[in-house]
Structure 1
Amino acid sequence: MNSGLLLSFLAVDLLLVCVPGADWAYVIAAALRGRRVPRAVAGLVCGYALHTVLATAGLAVLVAGSPRLLTALTVVGAGYLLWLGWGVLRRPAVPGAAREAADGGDDRLFLRGATISGLNPKGLLLYLSVLPQFLTLRGGHLPVPVQTAALGLLHMACCAAVYLTVGLLARVLLAARPVAARAVTRTSGAAMLGIGAFLLVERLATL
């Protein structure tokens, strides 16, 4: 693996991470509810750490090759997004809302983030379809698992940087705009519902 491949992967990965999706929606909702953005982002990154481990161990290929297992993961992940999105729509956040209790709330915030990214089959497909294109299979100085782990870690770093920026900007720009904050939160909840429904319908349509 050379620096050219790393830079190419970085450019493609940043483009993908910068496309709003369920991760963005979760970070924005957490920021506007007055919760700790770094903890929410850490949870999301932890979920992608699971994908990195699976890809490095070669287990991701087995999951992709098992329609039943992939369908089960998709249904669980989509259902979780639908549940979270509905909760956000029912209780849209505004700046200055009561913060969650320090420890228990932070733990739930982290676990929700890890569940959203960890159960997202789109993340698994990214590791299966995008990442392998940047591996040097022959003549490389590093074994393929090491290359896979390196690219996975780079993806996690991109996610951390982009999502922290999104969360902090959401908090700063909307801090004095409760009406706009409520609208953005509802949009985030609707996005979670839409993405969850899309994943569910898309997967079930292939059965």
Structure 2
Amino acid sequence: MDSATLLSFLALDLLLVCVPGADWAYVISAGLRDRSPVPAVAGLVTGYALHTVLAAAGLAVLVAGSPALLTALTVAGAAYLVWLGWSVLRRPGVPVAGDTAEAAGATGAGDEATGRRRVFLRGATISGLNPKGLLLYLSLLPQFLTLDGHHLPVPVQTTALGLLHMACCAAVYLTVGLLARAVLGTRPTAARAVTRTSGAAMLGIGALLLVQRLATF
């Protein structure tokens, strides 16, 4: 695997990551509701770490070859997106002001830590159960692997590309979360509207995935 291959993969992967979807919706929502989008982004990246491990171990191919298992993962992920999107629509929240956030951190550090863990786990669940992430690893990564004996083993190449994808996700999603908070942090009404839009996007994407998978099962 040479530098030209890595750059080609990076360019294509960045294009895909920059297309708004469930990940974007979640990080925008979490970024506006919490003091920092970092826990949400870390959770999303951790979910893709799971996909990387599965792909490197060859288990992703096994999942793709099992319609029942792939359907179960799709339904679980889609149902979770629907539930999370509905939760955001019910309680859109507003950005936490700096002084208020500092006071809350001083009086409720334990609750804040619990909240960060919850946001992290939700992000990991969204990307970890996202069948599109699994299919990305199955359809995109193999095109950039070199199978002859003169290069690194395929699992090592897969891991390298997976790590590159995770880095792209971290950079793009962190930027999205920070920009959303910076632009909307002093506009509660606009922030609430954007959060509701993000919730509707998660709900809609989850419902679409459910319909598509159940229609082909």
TM-score normalized with structure 1 length: 0.97
Partner residue in 1 for 2:128: 118
Question: What letter corresponds to residue 128 of structure 1 in structure 2?
Answer: L
Q: After the TM superposition, which residues 17-36 of structure 1 pair with which residues of structure 2 at under 5 Å, given as runs?
A: 17-36=17-36
Partner of 1:137: 147
C-alpha deviation, 1:121, in angstroms = 0.2
Alignment partner, residue 80 of structure 1: 80
Residues in 1 aligned to 2:8 and 2:171: alpha-carbon distance in whole angstroms:
18
2:108 maps to none
Identity within the alignment, % = 80
Gaps of 5+ in 2: 105-110
Give the corresponding residue for 2:212: 202
Question: Is the deviation greater in 3-12 or in 131-140?
Answer: 131-140
The CA deviation string for residues 139-179 of structure 1, in whole angstroms up to 9 with x for no partner, is 44201110000000000000000000000000000011111
Map of 2:16 onto structure 1: 16
Q: 1:92 Cα shift? A: 1.0
Number of equivalent positions: 207
> In the alignment, is residue 170 of structure 1 matched against residue 180 of structure 2?
yes
Bigger CA radius of gyration:
2
| Structure 2: distance between partners of 1:192 and 1:140 | 44
Question: Equivalent residue for 2:165?
Answer: 155
1:23/1:44 contact within 8 Å kept = yes
SS in 1 for 2:68: helix
Q: What letter corresponds to residue 126 of structure 1 in structure 2?
A: L
**Residue in 2 aligned with 1:192?**
202
**Does 93-102 or 128-137 show the bigger shift?**
93-102
Q: CA RMSD for the aligned pairs? A: 1.3
Large movers: runs of 4+ above 3 Å: 97-100
1:106 aligns with 2:106: no
* Contact 1:36/1:106 (<8 A) preserved: no
Partner in structure 1 of residue 67 of structure 2: 67
Distance 2:36 2:87 in 1: 18
Residue 107 of structure 2 aligns with which residue? none
List per-residue Cα deviations over 1:1-58 (Å, max 9, x = no partner). Answer: 1111100000000000000011111110011112431111110000000000000000
Give the secondary structure class of the aligned counterpart of 2:216. coil
